[in-house]
Amino acid sequence: EKGGHKHFMAKEIAEQPTVLSDALSHYLSGDTIDLPDAVPDFATIDRIVMVACGTAYLACATAKYWIERMAGIPVEVDIASEFRYREPPIGPNTLAIFVSQSGETADTLAALRHVAEKAQILSVVNVAESSIARESDVALPILAGAEIGVASTKAFTCQLLVLLLLALRAGTDRGRLAPETLAETLEGLRTLPGRMNQALQTSDRIAKVARKLAEADDILFLGRGQMYPLALEGALKLKEISYIHAEGYASGELKHGPIALVDRTVPVIVMAPHDALFDKTVSNMQEVMARGGQIVFVTNSTGAAEAGDGAMAVIEMPDVPDVLAPILYAVPAQLLAYHTAIAKGTDVDQPRNLAKSVTVE
Ligand code: F6R
C-alpha cells in the first residue's frame, strides 16, 4: 500500500509528478484550460476572497500573487477560523474560493456557509463528494488521489496547480494576459512533472543536510514574493512532523525583528529561484550569513553560481518558468521536513496531536 516506500508521506511526495500530470491532462486540452461552465467569467468578478486552513491556506496565499498579477482582481486571503467570525463585506460580484483537501474541515465549511447566500462559491477540493464540494456552486477536483499522510504534500502542489490554472483563466477573461504568456506557461506546465522528477533526485542530498537540521532547536525559512507563502509552508511542514520550532518570514521582514534570533545555532532555509527578486533575497541572506547564520540555499544553477558561496548547503532545482517555482520548490520543502523528522525518529505519517481531517472547530 506504501508502494515500496517506508511512509505514506514519502510515497505521496514521490507521486507528485504523476498526479500533477493527471491533473494537467484533466484540465488542459491543447492550449485551452478546460473548466466547468459554472466557473464564472472573471470579467464579471470584482473581488475574490480565498479561505482555507493550514497548508490549503498557504496554497491560497500563493495564488493571491498569481491572480493579482495576471488578472488584476483584488484578492483577500483569510484563515477559515477567522473569516467565519468576521463580517466580511461581500458584494454581488465577489467570488469566494474555498480550498480543502478533505472537503470536511469544520472551519472551512462553516466559513463557506457564512457567505453562501451572498457570494458565488467555488471550491478546490481533493475529495469530490465532500461536504465543501457539495455545498459549492462549482467544485474543482485537484485529482491528487487519496492522501493518507497527515502532513499534506501532493494535495498542496495539486491545489497550486488548479489555482494557477484559475489565475490563467482569470487573466484571459479580463484580457490582461498576453496569449504568448499563456502559451509559455502552459508549455512550462507540461514539462513540470519531469522537472519535479529531477527535484526528487535531491532527496539523498537533502537527507544529509537534514541530519544537521535535526540538531537545531529553531529553524527559519525565508522567501520573497510568491516564495514567501512557500517559506511559511516549509516551516509548517517541518514543525508538524519533526517538532522542531520553525518560522517562515518574508525575507524583507527579517531586519524588522527576527534577525535578532540568528546565530550559529539557527539554520536558515532560503527559497530563492533566480527570478526578478533574487538579488533582494540574496542581500537578506547575506545579512544572515554576516551574523553566523547557517544557510541552506534552495535555488537553481544560476542562483547557485551567483550566490551559493558561504552557504552550509546548496540544493539545486532545475529551471522552470518563474511562475512555476512555488510548485517545484514545494518538493525540497517537503523533503527537508521529511528527512529531518526521520533523523529525529518521529512518526512522520501520524505526528502527535494532529488529525488528518479536522472536523471539529
Ligand atoms: C498540514 C496540513 C493541514 C491541512 C489543514 C486543512 O500539513 O495537512 O494544515 O492542510 O488541516 O485541511 P483540509 O485541506 O483538508 O481542509
Model pTM above 0.80: yes
- Residue 75: predicted pLDDT: 98
Substitution site in 97, 101, 135 for ligand 1 pocket (most atoms within 8 Å of beta carbon): 101
- Residue 30: predicted pLDDT: 87
Residue closest via CA to ligand 1's atom 7 equals: 151
CA 46 vs. chain centroid, Å, equals 25
Q: Is pLDDT at 146 greater than 90 in this prediction? A: yes
Distance 107 CA to ligand 1 centre (A): 11
Mean pLDDT of 30-41: 95
Nearest CA to 97 among 154, 44, 159?
A: 159
C-alpha cell at 352: 502527535
Percent of the chain past pLDDT 70, that is, above it, reads 100
Mean pLDDT of 158-169: 98
Identify the residues whose C-beta falls under 6 Å from ligand 1: 53-56, 100-102, 105, 108, 151-152, 236-237, 240, 357-358
Q: How far apart are CA 161 and CA 157, in angstroms?
A: 6
DSSP bridge partners of 268? 220, 295
C-alpha cell at 237: 511542514
Tell me what ipTM this predicted complex has.
0.99
- Residue 118: predicted pLDDT: 95
Q: H/E element holding 141?
A: strand 138-141
- 200: left (phi > 0), else alpha (psi -120 to 50), else beta? alpha
pLDDT band at 313 (very low <50, low <70, confident <90, very high): very high
- Residue 324: predicted pLDDT: 98
- Residue 259: predicted pLDDT: 92
Judged on CB neighbours under 10 Å (0-12, 13-18, 19+), 355 is exposed
Residue closest via CA to ligand 1's atom 16 equals: 100
